[in-house]
Amino acid sequence: MKSASAGSRRRRLPLRYLLPSILLVVVVVMLLLRGYVHSEFLADHRVRPAAGTSSVPEKVLSGGPVLDARGDEPVSHRVPDHKIVLTFDDGPDPEWTPKILDKLAEYDAHAVFFVTGTMTSRHPELVRRMVAEGHEVGLHTFNHPDLSYQSASRIDRELAQSQLALAGAAGIRTSLFRPPYSSTVDALDDKSWPVTRQIASHGYLSAFIDTDSRDWARPGVDEIVRLATPQQSGKGAMVLMHDSGGNRSQTVAALDRLLPRLQAQGYAFPHLTEALGAPSPHTAVHGLDRWKGYAFVAAVGVSEHAMSVLVVALAIVGALVMARFVLMLVLSAAHARRTRRRGRGNPWGPPGSGRVTEPVTVLVPAYNERECIANTVRSLMNSDHPVEVIVIDDGSTDGTPEIVEALRMPGVRVVRQPNSGKPVALNTGLQHASYELIVMMDGDTVFESTTVRELIQPFVDPRVGAVAGNAKVGNRHKLIGAWQHIEYVMGFNLDRRMYDMLRCMPTIPGAVGAFRLSALRRVGGMSDDTLAEDTDVTMALHRDGWRVVYAEKARAWTEAPVTVKQLWSQRYRWSYGTMQAIWKHRRAVVERGPSGHFGRVGLPLVSLFMVLAPLLAPLIDVFLVYGLVFGPTLRTALAWAAVLALQGVCAAYAFRLDRERLTPLLTLPLQQLLYRQLMYVVLLQSWITALTGGRLRWQKLRRTGQLEAAPLTPQAVVHAVPVQERDAREQSSAA
């Protein structure tokens, strides 16, 4: 039975990575495919200088521009007199090819388009138009490399991939070919001639040129027309032009003058095989080859659109990240100034101070917390404000309640219940609470001596229903703890300052928070509708009209997860619970009054910054890797460094506000590259769980009990005074 259970766990464990892994593979494949068809990698743009011609037959060098080298003896063909074969290389281009096709149609002229596989797969509709309008299509390789530099297998791949793209775009294959960087046949040499023979062995006619219009150099419309016109009147020619590779406005304008001028001189503009009286180079592709081509072109189309979507998503996440940083910096600074300006003077103070000293009930829900519970209770006994401590044992099986009882501390009670979950445990504690002000903390947390007093200061305002404290990571000495420390200081506490200023605090942390008992009763106590009961009840208080504020000096030290598995479990529950709470309180968006303010300000901010932005944030790293590998490397690195620098500024400011050492920020770059990906996968799994209607239970993390006491600050004077003794002192003082 045990082995079967272990096997089940082994089978289930990869499932949490399955969909994220599939999604990652799909994104990587799409990016690689897009990079390939955009010639961002595996392309070779070297152009070889001329070589000797000893191996090239003389009749080829002096022959016509159309070369048939498929047999033992090569045969050359010339374009007949009074015929001009216009050829266009490097397309199709979405801007210039349609304009060139329009001009050809206007003058009833035909041409040969030597297309690259990359452009064909990206713009298949233009190739279909070429064929439909009676033009011929030839291959110009896939990535436009100088084939004399390439191996025989690379040449074969260039041809095969080009035919694949052509089959997917127009359902045909062609027997016409023009090598990249070629010109007239007399330019063939000992390096290019073997390539020509290899290509011919696959059944291709090689088409060179008689006349180069040099339109690629943009010499001006007059010059293009002059160069494209045969020097001998009535002489036939094959003319090189381009419909891609740059601005081709001069080419379009030159056609508007060249075509009618030469037609007036008796020239016709047929396509190549028509001029030569040869069969069409096009043959239809059917069956599996047709579907393979269609699938390839469709995949390229998906990658093109996916990249557009990813770029838009990157722009969105960039705007969200910048907006969040600006809001956090501006509003956190305003929050700090407001806190300093108020200088409240602690109306709720310790005994003998002359201030209000009504005790506070502290609720500690505990489930199997034997490693931590004693330290938690001892830290409460060191509080400088009178407290009643109620430990609610939620069916622990490790002796947690016995450990608390063995401490024999006055003012500390243990309430037992069957295992029912944290919300039920807290509601049980509320039923036993003796005082109006309720502090809630986790069983793995320790308070400073001043934490309770600082936490209840805002309740002097009767409109305040709940107060969020400052949760800090105690076990920050290892890398994963240091990363969570950065997250707590920068992400959580800086966020709370911002939300405090906007009056839409979304969450009272379970580790350190305080409530009015009357406010909790009005909203029905702690709910188990979601896995984030702290977020749920906070939103409910907002909707009921209560203010929720942040007490930055109310510090609590919590033991953060120490393994990736534990961190996964915790953040999975947090993120899924937050999504549940947002959905539960979605009607606040259309409500009026305080509920409407929270719904139209708080819910959108939480949704953007805690659900949407983290899901898209890894795009920054995806484009970083893509840009570093495929370029532009420098601009990509600078952009990523700028974002990291902005994050560093925000983090440093947050650390300064919390009076923390800046040393952990040295790990910030690594945190952004690794930690963020883990949070992304957790959030993605939360989305999947939400969309599929899954449920999670309250997950227990394994603790080590490393936090024996809270670090002492100069203001943290220890007064271990139990409730009964404090009450006696107060009565004596009053007498």
- What are the pLDDT digits (tens) for 169-185? 999 999 999 999 999 99
The DSSP result for 110-176, as a single string, is: -EEEEE-HHHHHH-HHHHHHHHHTT-EEEE--SS---GGGS-HHHHHHHHHHHHHHHHHHHSEEE-E
Q: Between these two residues, 65 and 47, which has the higher pLDDT value?
A: 65
What is the per-residue pLDDT across 189-207, written as a single tens digit (0 to 9) for each? 999 999 999 999 999 999 9
Asked whether 472 and 400 are in contact (CB, 8 A), the reply is no
Determine which of 9-18, 105-114, 165-174 has the lowest per-residue pLDDT on average. 9-18
Q: What is the mean pLDDT of residues 77-85?
A: 96
User: In three state form, how does the secondary structure of 80-109 look?
Assistant: CCCEEEEEEECCCCCCHHHHHHHHHHHCCC
Residue of 77, 242, 282, 485 marked active site:
242
Among 387-391, 447-451, 456-460, 649-653, the minimum mean pLDDT is found in 649-653
What's the pLDDT tens digit per position in 654-703? 888 888 888 888 888 887 777 777 777 777 777 777 666 655 554 454 55
Pairing of the two strands 211-212 and 237-242: parallel
CA–CA distance, 559 with 238 (Å, rounded to integer): 79
pLDDT score, position 435: 94
Q: Which residue has the higher pLDDT, 623 or 100?
A: 100
pLDDT of residue 42 exceeding 80: no
Is 89 catalytic? The answer is: yes
Most confident region among 306-320, 345-359, 472-486 by mean pLDDT: 472-486
User: What is the predicted pLDDT for the residue at 720?
Assistant: 35
Mean pLDDT of 55-76: 93
Angle between helices 152-170 and 124-132 (to 10 degrees): 70
Lowest mean pLDDT among 13-22, 155-164, 241-250: 13-22
- Look at residue 433 and tell me whether its pLDDT is greater than 90: yes
The SS3 assignment for 644 reads: helix
For domain 58-300, the CATH class is alpha beta
Residue predicted with more confidence, 40 or 527: 527
CATH architecture of the domain covering 320-612+703-728? Alpha-Beta Complex (3.90)
Which residue has tokens 């290509």?
Answer: 199
Q: What is the pLDDT of residues 528-587, one digit of tens each?
A: 888 889 999 999 999 999 999 999 889 999 888 888 878 877 888 888 888 889 999 999
- The per-residue pLDDT for 485 is 87
Bridge partners (DSSP) of residue 589 are: none
Active-site residue among 89, 215, 444, 500? Answer: 89
> Residue-wise over 305-336: b if at least 16 C-beta within 10 A, else e?
ebbeebeeebeebbebbeebbebbbebbeebe
Say yes or no: do domains 58-300 and 320-612+703-728 share a fold: no
Q: What is the structure's pLDDT at 730?
A: 38
Instruction: Supply the mean pLDDT for the chain.
Output: 85
Cα–Cα distance for residue pair 685/462, rounded to 1 Å: 41
Question: What is the structure's pLDDT at 3?
Answer: 46
pLDDT in tens, 214-255: 999 999 999 999 999 998 889 999 999 999 999 999 999 999
542 is catalytic: no
- Paired strand residues for 548: 466
Q: Report domain extents, the chain.
A: 58-300, 320-612+703-728
Name the more confident of 80 and 709: 80
Tell me, rounded to whole angstroms, the distance of Cα 196 from its chain centroid. 47
Alpha helices in 462-524, H assignment, sequence order = 479-486, 494-502, 517-522
What is the residue type of 422? K
For the cut 80, the answer to whether the pLDDT of residue 423 exceeds it is yes
Amino acid at 398: D
Give the pLDDT confidence of 443-488 residue by residue, as tens digits: 889 999 999 999 999 999 999 999 999 999 888 888 888 888 888 8
Backbone angles phi, psi at 393, to 5 degrees: -85, 120
Return phi, psi of residue 554, to 5°.
-85, 80
Instruction: Tell me the torsion sign for CA atoms 104, 105, 107, 109.
Output: positive
And the tokens for 301? 């189309």
What local confidence, expressed as pLDDT, does residue 439 receive?
Answer: 97
Is the confidence at residue 424, as pLDDT, over 80? yes
| Residue 301 burial (C-beta neighbours within 10 Å; 0-12, 13-18, 19+) | middle
Residue 81 — pLDDT band, cuts 50, 70, 90? very high
The amino acid present at 417, given as its one-letter code, is: Q
Task: Determine the pLDDT at residue 709.
Answer: 55
φ, ψ dihedrals at 137, nearest 5°: -125, 130
Indicate if the pLDDT at residue 733 is higher than 80: no
Those residues whose C-beta lies under 8 Å from the C-beta of residue 674, and which sit 6 or more positions away, are: none
Q: Which of 693, 728, 411, 499 is nearest to 579 (CA)?
A: 693
Which string of DSSP letters, residue by residue, matches 374-415? HHHHHHHHT-SS-EEEEEEEES-SSSHHHHHHHH--TTEEEE
pLDDT at 560: 82
**pLDDT value of residue 5:** 44
Helix, coil or strand: residue 478: coil
The dihedrals phi and psi of 540, each to the nearest 5 degrees, come to -65, -40
Q: How confident is the model at residue 29, as a pLDDT?
A: 83
Q: Per-residue pLDDT tens for 578-589?
A: 888 999 999 999
Collect all residues with Cβ–Cβ distance below 8 Å to 212 and sequence separation of at least 6.
183, 227, 239, 240
Contact 176, 200 (CB under 8 A): no
Q: Which residue has the higher pLDDT, 298 or 341?
A: 298
Q: What confidence tens digit (pLDDT) does each residue in 249-293 have?
A: 999 999 999 999 999 999 999 999 999 999 999 999 999 999 999
DSSP state of 64: -
For 389, the token pair is: 């401590």
Identify which has the larger pLDDT, 626 or 144: 144
**C-alpha span between 336 and 454 (Å, rounded):** 16
